[in-house]
Structures are given as structure tokens and as C-alpha cells.
Amino acid sequence: MTDGQSFDGTKILITGGVGFIGSNLARRLVSLGARVTLVDSLVPEYGGNLFNLAGFENRVRVNISDVRDRYSLNYLVQGQDYLFNLAGQTSHMDSMHDPFTDLEINSRAQLAILEACRHANPGIRVVFASTRQIYGRPRYLPVDEKHLLRPVDVNGINKMAGEGYHILYYDAYGIRATVLRLTNTYGPRMRVKDARQTFLGIWIRLVIEDQPFEVWGGEQLRDFTYVDDAVEALLLAATRPEAIGRIYNLGGERVISLRELAALLVKTNGAGEFLIRSFPEERKKIDIGDFYSDYRLIRQELGWEPKVPLNQGLSLTLDFYRRYLPSYL
């Protein structure tokens, strides 16, 4: 468990702060006494949703700007104790259709943020949210941090560069950065309007709307991190000296096939229906088969492990969207 004292009175910047993970992290940090600024572009296709701040709008500062806006970020990093760098373009399909926008957000903007830190706030502590997507198709399972990186989409390559800059700016300039490679994160405040952030989002929406949802394939194994566990990892990464300059996988408390996950979701909801469908041609090219990650390194070094069981996490998520679904459509 994080020592809550660490954040009391600290100044914190969260890019992508109005999004799914950012807003959950912000709530936690505010409860720990931190003074939090959220940066978000609110690009409609991405994860930012002002409803994510419902009930604590007055306890954070919200700055609407895009990480590609260098001048804004140059200013905002000044005087901060921590930067949680979560902003990103996350759609794999978008990255293939418009690779340059993905490069601008996931690669170039990250470099600009680090340059801003180096020049204006070299003492800042940075945590970067990377993704298991950069491994590509697993050569072995579970996938640990030594696994080769061979991304299957432009997004993966740009995220790989984005995390590379963070580690480099520590190695070369001493900017204290940590990289977390997140696997499938889920929970309240995730995007459920469509499958742009995760397929689990649209499943949850449809099951609540009493409509059948589609499972592509079904036999693929995956792991899932409940958002509170991901937030805990972010806090540990930010505060533990051992984490500086390190790259850690997150993971889930169990491995499950998509078919079983669909069945578990229906069971947890008490009703619902899903259809198993074969992969659309365009997705097949970038499908990676089974994936689950080895999170022993962060367990060993920082003592993190996923605590929320999948059925409980799904139940909490369903409860949230049963109350607030209209605000996410």
C-alpha cells in the first residue's frame, strides 16, 4: 500500500487527466491531499469526459490543452512535483489509418514534454503509462519485460519511442522517470460508448442496454487490471526510489479467455447475451493471439500486485454504468 503521506500538499500534473485512468488517479490523489492539475485535450474520439470529474470538479484544476501544444505543456510542468504522463492516442486502427497523428501524440509530444521538464523542472518525478501493445505477438507466455518488442501497429511503435524517451531522459539527464506497461485496464470511467479504448467498454454498454455483444474469436487469453490496482501501481512507481529508470509490466489476477470473460460478464450482470464471431479481416492482421503478462518484477521490487478479483471488478464496473451510462454515450 502506498504511504498516503507522500502526496500530501504536493503539486501534481496529470496528462490525459480527464480520461479513464487519469480521473481515477486524480480522485485518489486529491483524497491524499495533493494539489492536482489535469491536462486534457477532450478530443471527442479519445477518453476525456468531464463527467469523470463529477462531484469533485472544484477540487482539481482542469486545463484544456493538447499534449501536442508545446507552449501549454512548457508552462504547465513548471513547479510540479510529479507528472503522471497518461495522455495518448490509444486506438490501434486509428494509428494505421492516420499514422502521423499517432506519431505526433505518442512520440513527438512525449519528447517535447521531457524537453520541457529538462529545461524548466529537472527535479520533477515522472511516471509514463506505456502499454503491453509494444510487445506485439508473444514469443512466450507470460510476457516479461525482457521480451522482444515487435509492435503490430503504428501505435505500438510510437508508444515504444515514447517510453524510450522517458528512460533516456533519466539515463542522460537524470529526469527521474518510471515506465509502466499497462495491460487491459478496466473499471468505472472507462470509455464505453464504443470499442475505441477497449472492447470491454462496448461489451459493458451493450450488456447494460440489454443488447447482445460480439466476441471476436473467443479463445484468446488475456489478463485485466482493475483501475484501482493500476492507480496503486502509478502511486508506487512515483514514490519508490527503486522505481527510478525502471520499466515494469502490470498484469491481472487471473488469465481468462475472451469467451469465458464474456460468460463471466453476463453472469455478473445477471442477464445478457453474446455472439462469437470470426475476426474481421482488417483486425486479423494486427491480432496478437494469446497475451498475458508476467508482473513478477514490480511485485518483487515495489510489492505491487493486482488485488481486485475480476468478478468483483466487473461487478463494480457494472454498478457504475448502471447508474451513469447516459453520461458516457
**Residues at the interface with its own copies (CB under 8 A):** 96, 99-100, 103, 107-108, 111-112, 115, 146, 148-154, 156-158, 160-161, 164-165, 167-168, 171-172, 285-286
Give the C-alpha separation, 86 to 66, whole Å.
Answer: 12
- For residue 199, what is the DSSP state? H
CA quadruple 109, 115, 120, 126: dihedral, nearest 10: 70
Please give the grid coordinates belonging to residue 18: 480527464
Residue with Cβ nearer its own copies (287 or 290): 287
Q: Which of 59, 174, 180 is nearest to 125 (CA)?
A: 174
Write down the least CB distance from residue 228 to its own copies, Å: 31
Residue with Cβ nearer its own copies (242 or 282): 282
Write down the least CB distance from residue 298 to its own copies, Å: 17
Q: How crowded is residue 100: how many other Cβ atoms within 10 Å of its Cβ?
A: 11
Write down the least CB distance from residue 111 to its own copies, Å: 6
Give the C-alpha separation, 164 to 160, whole Å.
Answer: 6
Residue with Cβ nearer its own copies (160 or 227): 160
Residue with Cβ nearer its own copies (119 or 323): 119
**What residue type is assigned to position 299 of the chain?**
R
Contact 24, 17 (CB under 8 A): no
Give the C-alpha separation, 258 to 291, whole Å.
Answer: 11
Please give the grid coordinates belonging to residue 142: 507470460
Write down the least CB distance from residue 119 to its own copies, Å: 12
Residue with Cβ nearer its own copies (158 or 293): 158
Write down the least CB distance from residue 116 to its own copies, Å: 12
Write down the least CB distance from residue 152 to its own copies, Å: 6
Give the C-alpha separation, 42 to 64, whole Å.
Answer: 7
Residue with Cβ nearer its own copies (138 or 313): 138
Please give the grid coordinates belonging to residue 95: 494509428
